[in-house]
Amino acid sequence: MNKATALLVAGTMLAAATPAMAQDTDSTFTGFRAGVTAGYDAVQAGSSVDADNERNNNDQSIDGVAYGVVAGYDVDLGGAVVGIEGEYADSTAKTEFSNGDFEGFGFGSVDAGRDLYIGARVGAKVAPDVLLYAKGGYTNAKLNILTNDGTTETRRDFKLDGWRAGAGLEYAINPRTYVNFEYRYSNYQDGEVVFASGATTPDFNVDLDRHQIMAGVGMRF
């Protein structure tokens, strides 16, 4: 598969209104961390062509709640923080259909599946306990597809390769506990179909966008 490499994007300023807490600020953002994350998830066709028509109500976007686990390692360089992270997530996003209409993205009924991410992040400490960061990396996602021609239902998985970029704000409640808020955008450009038999198609080009607004909580070790 073609593994697209994400470009780190400039951090987007996010306003924060959180009460100050007394804490030891030495090496606040250094070391191994692990946590959970959840938030709004929207997947949509990246093409500007409207596939709707009178016969089929073809959904071109799905949304729901994304949730997952995150682990990473950061190095506090003083004014800046660099690190790597990985994430395993799932989503409740799926098409809504009625009256036998199975259309979604032109494929059929679509249910967002697992989403894997690995990448890097770079941040600046705008306060001793506040980190503003940008992130980017590789993402591999699945869409679970159900099609129906009026006689036969067919289930298959679409595996998608792409890149992700985002920006966020992390607040250290204390040296061991943190919360963060971030926006991230993913674009999937390569895909393959996996059939129930295990057979796969050759890679093909796709254009799907994903927008997520996430909040997380975690601990450093």
What is the number of structural domains in the chain?
1
Tokens representing 221 are 């070790």
pLDDT in tens, 178-219: 999 999 999 998 778 776 666 677 777 778 899 999 999 999
Q: Is the pLDDT of residue 45 over 60?
A: yes
Comparing 78 with 146, the larger pLDDT belongs to: 78
Whole-number Å distance between alpha carbons of 124 and 71: 20
Q: Is the pLDDT of residue 15 over 90?
A: no
For residue 113, is it within any domain?
yes
For residue 63, is it within any domain?
no
Q: Which domain holds residue 184?
A: 1-6+102-221
Amino acid at the residue 220: R
Place of tokens 């098409």: 95
Tokens representing 136 are 């980017």
Whole-number Å distance between alpha carbons of 56 and 118: 37
Comparing 100 with 127, the larger pLDDT belongs to: 127
For residue 49, is it within any domain?
no
pLDDT in tens, 102-146: 555 555 678 898 999 999 999 999 999 999 999 999 999 998 876
pLDDT value of position 132: 97
Comparing 71 with 150, the larger pLDDT belongs to: 71
